[in-house]
Amino acid sequence: MLLDDRVVIVSGIGPGLGQELALAAARENAAGIVLAARTESYLKDVEAAVNDQYPSRTLVVPTDIAQRKQCQRLVEATISEFGRIDALINSAYTPGKFGLFEDADLESWRVPMEVNLFGSLGLTQAVVPHMKRAGGGAIVFVNTMVHKKPLETQGAYASSKGALTAASKILAKELGPHGIRVNSVYMGWMWGPPVESYVQAVAHEQGVSQEEIVAGITQAIPLGAIPDDADCANAAIFLASDYARVITGASLDVNGGEWMP
């Protein structure tokens, strides 16, 4: 199993990728899975789903990663429960407000910056001392294809994730000597609750079938299908595992071939 005896924190537990990351960690035999997100009720639902399928030890810690004290509380709770932190998967994010740049209130851009950039980095900073004392660890940032293949109206989101890209490479350089690996996965379209809702809404708005909307999306994807969010989660789990023990500072594109640098 890829995560045998590992303690993993997953931030951003929610419908879609966050839940699939937790289930994948359990499937790969993680010794402890710490579930973090702002909504406790949903965390409990995911915990129940994990424990129903796998004999994993889970810990629920409601956390707003934009609040540094809450990040520290999350890390302290993990250490208290499991004694160590082997991997952190930074999946929490907010898309911010979509809109054209010329019409934007740039103050609104601060929200995705606070969550996607500073929140992810703040949680990362909180785990680093524990990983250093343990002699190593793995940090994975969930990033987005949007800042590589720009989409109109998503400037705030793309900018926050672009800044995270730069930061992740500096972290990989600085933390490598301590045995801490830092990598990023760049997700494109992912088939799961968020995209399903989007497809339904657009189909209704345009008066066409959902199949037509999906066909429009997949025509740009060489593999011919929207990647399932569970399959996308596997890429992050790989980077958190010893199978990637000599990989750091890497950017793994997970989008069915839609973006090829």
Q: Are residues 51 and 114 in the same domain?
A: yes
Under a CB-based contact definition with an 8 Å cutoff, are residues 154 and 95 in contact?
Answer: yes
Q: Are residues 179 and 201 in the same domain?
A: no
Q: Are residues 201 and 186 in the same domain?
A: no
Under a CB-based contact definition with an 8 Å cutoff, are residues 92 and 67 in contact?
Answer: no
Domain of residue 87, CATH code: 3.40.50.720
Tokens 């709770």 map to which residue? 77
Under a CB-based contact definition with an 8 Å cutoff, are residues 91 and 17 in contact?
Answer: yes
Q: Are residues 53 and 111 in the same domain?
A: yes
pLDDT tens digits along 193-229: 989 998 999 999 999 999 999 999 999 999 999 999 9
Q: Are residues 47 and 78 in the same domain?
A: yes
Enter the DSSP assignment of 227.
Answer: P
Q: Are residues 28 and 58 in the same domain?
A: yes
Q: Are residues 169 and 209 in the same domain?
A: no
Residue 2 lies in a domain: no
Q: Are residues 119 and 205 in the same domain?
A: no
pLDDT tens digits along 34-70: 999 999 989 999 999 999 999 889 999 999 999 999 9
Q: Are residues 48 and 61 in the same domain?
A: yes
Residue 46: exposure state from Cβ atoms within 10 A (0-12, 13-18, ≥19):
buried
Is the pLDDT confidence value at 245 over 90?
yes
Residue 128 lies in a domain: yes
Q: Are residues 155 and 116 in the same domain?
A: yes
Residue 258 lies in a domain: no
Q: Residue 204 sits in which domain range?
A: 191-226
| Averaged pLDDT of the chain | 96
Cα–Cα distance measured from residue 9 to residue 34, given in angstroms and rounded to the nearest whole number: 5
- Candidates 198, 94, 90; CA nearest to 156 is 94
Q: Are residues 56 and 168 in the same domain?
A: yes
pTM, 2 dp = 0.95
> Rounded to 5 degrees, what are φ and ψ at 30?
-60, 140
Sheet holding 87-90, edge to edge: 58-62, 32-37, 7-11, 87-90, 137-144, 180-187, 251-254
Cα distances from 155 to residues 100, 195, 197, in angstroms, run 8, 19, 22
**How many structural domains are present in the chain?**
2
Find the length of the chain. 261
